Amino acid sequence: MSAQASPAELRRRIGHPIVDADGHVLEMLPAVFPFLRESLGSRLFEDYLKQGPPVRRRVGARSEAELRADRSPQAAWWAAVTDHPVDRATVMFPALLRERMGELGIDYSVLYTTHGLSTCAIEHEELRRGVARGFNDYYAEVYGPHRKQLAVAGIIPMHTPREAIEELEHCKRIGLKVVGFPEGVRRPIEAGPSSHPSLWPGQAHWFDTFGLDSAHDYDPVWAKAQELGFAVTFHGSLGLRPGAVSSPTSYGYNHVWRFAGVSAPVCKSLFLGGVTRRFPGLAFAFLECGVSWATQMLGDLIEHWERRNLDALRANLDPERLRPAEVETYFERYGGAIRERLEGDFGQALAGMPIDGATPAELDEWKHLGVRSPDEIVERFAPSFYFGCEAGDRGVATAFPPIPARGARLNAIFSSDMGHWDVTRLDDVVPEAFELLDGGLVSPEDFRRFCFENPVALYRKADPDFFAGTALETAVAELPA
């Protein structure tokens, strides 16, 4: 199968639909302003115009010395396609995107915000919620007529479960079928700036990732999403994770692995917090982040559980099981220079080794999972999580056996990222994805899963009727439930 063929020809040859789980809207902000003015009111709307989204603050022309002085991260510049006007227009105007879908080889596309990124990081509650509401109303009105082939994700602020639930209900009322959650929420440290050596000197905030150790119980949010038929999809930069970017001179440094870096903590938090155990029927997706890190995470989780589950801790690592007298016999025979130089009593020195943290009141760190075997860890992880991978991501191959632990298959989902700087030609996206197949990195069956079955399963798991009335209705009806 030649990558030189057109996207439409490649689509015909492969014989199954291609579903794009993560493209982007490139909003013309003045067209969004009427919706923001309505949702915010005149005073807050003026505040929004003055402040702008958090991610866009302090991005005016500044010297390298100024950036280094206050460690402001270098942001993206020249971040949208200019050389192909039709591509620039395609991500701006939904009617043109729909018209070109066949030409691009894509049957259905789910789109996420661009100018609404970082909305969920706005600290002021009324402003945060009003901006999210305005963008959501805009998407419903402008993209609603194109729902046969397009869906735009609403923005769900998550500072509290209440605000998230109210916006989920609003998105359902206005007809949005997909919603996007931030990667976490920055919160103040309750006791004030910390002096712990593992934190930055004077650190006053921490980052809440909604699962393990969260400030709130977010189970009502997951329950509401399940009730309303929404998959829980996380898109990096809907919030802003402190420390995720740190170079004042290199946007490349700041962007490489960034989305994996902000997705991994929320994935791990949900898993270790037992969310997938309590909501086994709910689908969670992490977008624009690849899947190879998740393959490694699953292996690491299994390895840690095998060595640090409660039974293994007690059998192998409990300090009470150490027999100092036996160790001392080896010290007498083999201590050598250590024996000659040791100051003080051997027993006291042994008791201080290794340098352990204080024993916690609760020894079972896995209690939220309720697992008894590595296979149960896989069952809690693999079916619930989906991972957005761009067309050129060769790491897609790591999602399929034999690479993941214990023969698991992870749910990699095709994501174009159209609308952003890394897609310089829209008609290159599908041919680039086909290089996975041409190069023998994935089988035809796994390519079908990547581009069709897995994205369909993500949305269909949340809402069995998600694709009713769309261009994929007939093809999806032929898949197993």
Could you report the per-residue pLDDT of 72-90, keeping only the tens digit for each? 888 888 888 888 999 999 9
Assess whether pLDDT exceeds 80 at residue 56.
Answer: no
Q: What is the pLDDT of residue 28?
A: 94
Burial category of 271 from C-beta neighbours within 10 Å (exposed 0-12, middle 13-18, buried 19 and up): buried
Assess whether pLDDT exceeds 50 at residue 153.
Answer: yes
Q: Please report, for residues 71, 205, 232, 438, the alpha-carbon distance to residue 243 in angstroms, rounded to integers and kept in the order given.
A: 11, 12, 24, 38
Q: Please report, for residues 102, 262, 380, the alpha-carbon distance to residue 267 in angstroms, rounded to integers and kept in the order given.
A: 34, 9, 12
Q: What is the pLDDT of residue 264?
A: 97
Assess whether pLDDT exceeds 80 at residue 3.
Answer: no
Q: How confident is the model at residue 156 (pLDDT cuts 50, 70, 90)?
A: very high
Domains by residue range for the chain, with CATH: 7-298+375-477 (3.20.20.140)
Q: Using alpha carbons only, give the angle 85, 76, 32 rounded to the nearest 5 degrees.
A: 60
Question: Considering the chain, what percentage of its residues have pLDDT values greater than 70?
Answer: 98
Could you report the per-residue pLDDT of 120-135, keeping only the tens digit for each? 999 999 999 999 999 9
> Considering only CA atoms, which of 209, 407, 381 is closest in space to residue 280?
381
Could you report the per-residue pLDDT of 106-118, keeping only the tens digit for each? 999 999 999 999 9
Assess whether pLDDT exceeds 60 at residue 230.
Answer: yes
Q: What is the pLDDT of residue 2?
A: 44
Q: How confident is the model at residue 211 (pLDDT cuts 50, 70, 90)?
A: very high
Q: What is the pLDDT of residue 58?
A: 54
Could you report the per-residue pLDDT of 286-307, keeping only the tens digit for each? 999 999 999 999 999 999 999 9
pTM, 2 dp: 0.95
Assess whether pLDDT exceeds 80 at residue 447.
Answer: yes
Q: Using alpha carbons only, give the angle 82, 83, 85 rounded to the nearest 5 degrees.
A: 70
Question: Considering the chain, what percentage of its residues have pLDDT values greater than 90?
Answer: 85
For the chain, what is the mean pLDDT?
A: 94
> Considering only CA atoms, which of 452, 385, 388 is closest in space to residue 22?
388
